[in-house]
Amino acid sequence: MIFFIDGGSRGNPGPAGYGVRIVDAADQLVDELYESIGVATNNVAEYSGLLAALRYAVEHGCRDITIRSDSLLLVCQMKGEYRVKNARLKTLHAEARQLASRLGRVRFVHVRREENADADALANRAMDEGKKPEAGSQKPLEAGASLRHRSGQADPAATSKTQERGTWPPTGRLF
């Protein structure tokens, strides 16, 4: 499974949210999640998207996943290449590492912003709606509207036809 994640805030800190687009190896839509997280920094929103993706992977028994994010900071921190200095991010990072340890193999890949447009749209939708789901739940998109699909119910007209995406750096790094 491939998880495209993105988080954002309008202001830093400001109203924030995340989006997660989940596709299978054939690039077919599996699920999409988004959530408004209230007032937060952009980096907290990025980590919130990562945590949502990892929780989903654990809950659905995924063993081999790829996380694709346009946040170089998050990717390099999760790979151990950058230190986590911010106290709030340390807590989120530790939780993400714990969840990742429950999975078989987790790869973290940095992608360009344009390759993460679907997750970005979900994060923006979360910020636009500014609604939080019921306590402890993730907010899956509902069927019927643009970008709203349930597991396996992709609208072919709305699903992007993408090829294997390039990585930066070109060699790609594994976690």
Q: Could you list the residue range(s) of the whole structural domain that residue 59 is in?
A: 2-129
Which CATH number do you get for residue 41? 3.30.420.10
φ, ψ at 125 (rounded to 5°): -60, -40
- What is d(CA 93, CA 84) in angstroms, rounded to the nearest whole number? 8
**174 domain residue, yes or no:** no
pTM exceeds cut of 0.85: no
Domain count, the chain: 1
Give dist(CA 175, CA 171) in Å, integer.
Answer: 13
Q: Look at residue 95 and tell me if it is in a domain.
A: yes
In a domain, 156, yes or no: no
Query: Is 57 a domain residue?
Result: yes
**H/E run at residue 62:** none
Per-residue pLDDT in tens (0 to 9) along the chain, 175 residues:
999 999 999 999 999 999 999 999 999 999 999 999 999 999 999 999 999 999 999 999 999 999 999 999 999 999 999 999 999 999 999 999 999 999 999 999 999 999 999 999 999 999 999 854 433 334 433 333 323 333 333 333 333 333 333 333 334 444 4
Asked if residue 78 is part of any domain, the answer here is yes
Q: Any idea what the Cα angle at residue 161 is, between residues 159 and 164, rounded to 5°?
A: 130
Residue 158 covered by a domain: no
135 occurs within a structural domain? no
